[in-house]
């Protein structure tokens, strides 16, 4: 069974996003070894945010993210400037990376300020869900659903239409 790790800044607190995450986590248990690492957002209390403060925050978040990336991982950063892929392409990527010897596929979802360039540079792939901007909590639900869909495609399930 393939190992999938999702490293995400912040928690999905309650409501429909948490329900969605829990539903796909439950479904994925039979398809992969899923690990979700929730890291605390670095809170910015300053009223006048500037690029320097945001960059320092992203650097501190990067330190925590990097510590939690499993060894032998194919690293995918979720970022707006990344490439979009279809569900079929994601399924193919899962299959190819397993054959290439990666023991883990690690997705990284940043905070509301995004991801540090340091994390993006160490990634094997930068992926975007859409040209639209989504809250990072919703991105987690969407990523879990697409992961489930990709494994459904690989297993020949009727879930993917």
pLDDT value at position 45?
60
pLDDT value at position 113?
84
Express each pLDDT in 18-71 by its tens digit.
Answer: 999 999 999 999 999 999 999 987 776 656 677 888 888 899 999 999 999 999
Q: Could you give the percent of the chain with pLDDT greater than 90?
A: 69
The 8 Å CB, 24+ separation contacts for 127-131 are 127/76, 127/77, 127/78, 127/79, 127/82, 127/83, 127/84, 127/85, 128/78, 128/79, 128/80, 128/81, 128/82, 128/83, 128/84, 129/78, 129/84, 130/84, 131/80, 131/84
Question: Does residue 13 have a pLDDT over 80?
Answer: no
143 vs 148: CA distance, rounded Å: 9
What are the boundaries of each domain within the chain?
A: 2-42+54-152
Residue 3 sits at the vertex; the CA angle it makes with 127 and 85, to the nearest 5 degrees, is 20
The class level of CATH for 2-42+54-152 reads: alpha beta
Question: Does residue 83 have a pLDDT over 90?
Answer: yes
């Amino acid at each position: 069974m393939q190992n999938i790790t999702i490293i995400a800044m912040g928690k999905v607190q309650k409501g429909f996003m948490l329900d969605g995450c829990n539903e796909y986590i439950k479904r994925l248990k039979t398809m992969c070894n899923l690990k979700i690492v929730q890291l605390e957002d670095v809170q910015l209390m300053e009223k006048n945010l500037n690029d320097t403060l945001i960059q320092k925050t992203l650097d501190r978040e990067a330190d925590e993210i990097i510590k939690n990336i499993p060894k032998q991982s194919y690293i995918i950063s979720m970022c707006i400037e990344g490439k979009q892929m279809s569900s079929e392409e994601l399924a193919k990527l899962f299959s190819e990376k397993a054959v290439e010897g990666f023991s883990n596929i690690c997705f990284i979802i940043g905070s509301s300020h995004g991801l540090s360039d340091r994390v993006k540079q160490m990634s094997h792939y930068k992926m975007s869900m859409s040209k639209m901007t989504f809250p990072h909590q919703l991105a987690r639900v969407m990523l879990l659903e697409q992961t489930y869909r990709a494994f459904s495609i690989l297993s020949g399930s009727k879930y993917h239409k």
